[in-house]
Amino acid sequence: MRIFKFGGASIQTIERMKSTGAILKNDPREKMLLVISAMGKTTNALETVAESFFSGNSKEALSLFNRVKQQHLDTLKYITVLNWQAAENRMKDFFTEVEWLLHDKPVKDYDFYYDQIVCCGELLSTWILYQYCVEEKLNACWVDVRDIIRTDDNFREAAIDWAYTQQKVETEIKKLFHTYDIVITQGFIGATDENESTTLGREGSDFTAAIFANLLDAFSLTIWKDVDAVMNADPRQFKDAIGIPSLSYSEVIEMAYYGAQVIHPKTIKPLQNKNIPLYVKSFLNPQLPGTLISSTLSKKLPPVIVKKENQVLMQFSSKDFSFVEGKPVQQLQEIFKTARLNPNLIQNSAISLLCCFDDRPEKIEQIALEAGIQFNVSLEKNLTLLTIRHYDDDIVKELTENKTIVLLQKTPVTLQALFR
């Protein structure tokens, strides 16, 4: 049993979907579970739908959603010959889930509506890929992951109910492999015990794949991407980024913690717990070895660079010049927890606490208002957070030259600089 996860870029066009199909056809006949993301740019489009709806512009939201509908219907029609009408009818059921909601007025918070709308992207992409597999005579079936992965109601960052989910994998998923070679399901999404859709955090499809790898005791998990391997930096930001042949679980956890986008922060633990190797490979060049992530400790590594833009620096200082430590810090941490936003960088001084966050305006405003009752709060936006693991003086100088550093932290292994 192996798990394959394909991201949105791998099914973004008909040609890429065919490339994905070729990987499945060329693979040895072995039981396989596929975890699929939404088609490229679909999640962003659905986020815009959610924003329009929540702002009270239902008509605009429906118009934007119609564009998403048409794109997926066009793709389905192109690849489906044998089973077009039945395939289209099932897809329309997914559309209806969202359209019913869009005809109402929002009465709950934004995160709830975000999850109900955005989850549609994964349902559509997997249904299309499944239909492609049917056309290509692959022995596959389709599963709605919301019937399998149970979560709490922490919308947009839902936590897994592992016991319930394991029971569903045992009773529902394993039996499918008695009949089918390939099970196709969605990444990123789950559902509460009230059947409300939830999401597992952005890029959470990797986490979904790791959940299934763990619960199915998979031989391996392969994440197929549009890069040749795990890179030491984002090649879209750094043209001289290089691939890393092998990494340890612990090194990848560190990379994920600091914001590297290749692997989701929660993905490694379920694999590490059962010593399941993770391969990161290119769907564009599947013959390349990619990167192996395992329990073997990493040897000498190049500098690993993570650059996060759109950062906010918030300063919390005591109103009476007393020390910001102990209970006041705990109170701030509770405010962060309530807002569901974790700092990317924290630094204490005697009478203030500096915290760097991703700029999520509604969350930042919530923190500022709640903290402002007890603390003086100031903030600066449009900053960049640079993290370098295994740094040396040359790379630090190159990447921070002509920058105004407003916050700096470093250990022998890791340097973080927040700059304008």
Chain centroid, CA 361 distance in Å: 20
350/178: higher pLDDT = 178
CA distances to 238, 268, 380, 382 from 359, rounded to whole Å, are: 23, 26, 10, 8
* Mean pLDDT value across residues 213-241: 94
Q: Which residues in 87-139 belong to E strands, given as ranges?
A: none
The dihedral sign for the CA sequence 357, 122, 269, 5:
negative
Kindly tell me if the per-residue pLDDT of 30 is higher than 90: no
Residue 46: predicted pLDDT = 97
Identify which of 112, 17, 98 has the alpha carbon closest to the alpha carbon of residue 340: 112
- As a whole number, mean pLDDT of residues 242-271 equals 88
Mean pLDDT to the nearest integer, 11-30? 86
CA dist., res. 122 & res. 36, Å (int): 7
- pTM value is 0.84
* Rounded mean pLDDT, 316-332: 78
88-147, pLDDT tens digit by residue? 999 999 999 999 999 999 999 999 999 999 999 999 999 999 999 999 999 999 999 999
Find the farthest-apart pair of alpha carbons in the chain and give their distance in angstroms, rounded: 74
Residue 148 predicted with pLDDT over 80? yes
Compute the C-alpha angle 157/96/204, nearest 5°.
Answer: 20
pLDDT level of residue 324 (50, 70, 90 thresholds): low
Average pLDDT over residues 344-356: 90
Least confident span in 58-67, 162-171, 298-307, 379-388: 298-307
Q: Which residue has the higher pLDDT, 253 or 385?
A: 385
| 29: pLDDT strictly greater than 70 | no
- Of the two residues 100 and 349, the one the predictor is more confident about is 100
Mean pLDDT across 337-351: 90
Q: What is the pLDDT of residues 157-214, one digit of tens each?
A: 999 999 999 999 999 999 999 999 999 999 999 999 999 999 998 678 999 999 999 9
Q: Rg of the chain over CA atoms, in angstroms?
A: 23
- β-bridge mates for residue 291, sequence order: 280
Selection from 205, 199, 220 nearest residue 274 by Cα = 220
CB of 3 closer than 8 Å to CB of 222: yes
Structure tokens at 155: 């919308």
Reply yes or no on whether the pLDDT at 348 is more than 90: no
Predicted local distance difference test score (pLDDT) of residue 129: 95
pLDDT band at 264 (very low <50, low <70, confident <90, very high): confident
Question: Which domains does the chain carry?
Answer: 2-226 (3.40.1160.10), 304-419 (3.30.2130.10)
Q: What percent of the chain has pLDDT over 90?
A: 82
Q: With 70 as the cut, is the pLDDT of residue 248 above it?
A: yes
How much of the chain, in percent, has pLDDT values that exceed 70? 98
Encoding tokens for residue 217?
A: 């005791």
Predicted confidence (pLDDT) at residue 392 exceeds the cutoff of 70:
yes
In whole numbers, what is the pLDDT of the chain averaged over residues?
A: 93
Kindly state the tokens that stand for 54: 């929540």
- What is the enclosing helix (H) or strand (E) of 368? helix 361-371
Please compute the mean of the pLDDT values over residues 45-71 and round it to a whole number.
97
Which contiguous run of DSSP H or E holds residue 4? strand 2-6
HSE-CB for 395 with a 13 A CA cutoff:
21
281: pLDDT strictly greater than 90: yes
pLDDT at position 266, please? 84
Per the CB < 8 A criterion, the answer to whether 216 and 173 are in contact is yes
Q: Which residue's structure tokens are 């039981």?
A: 31
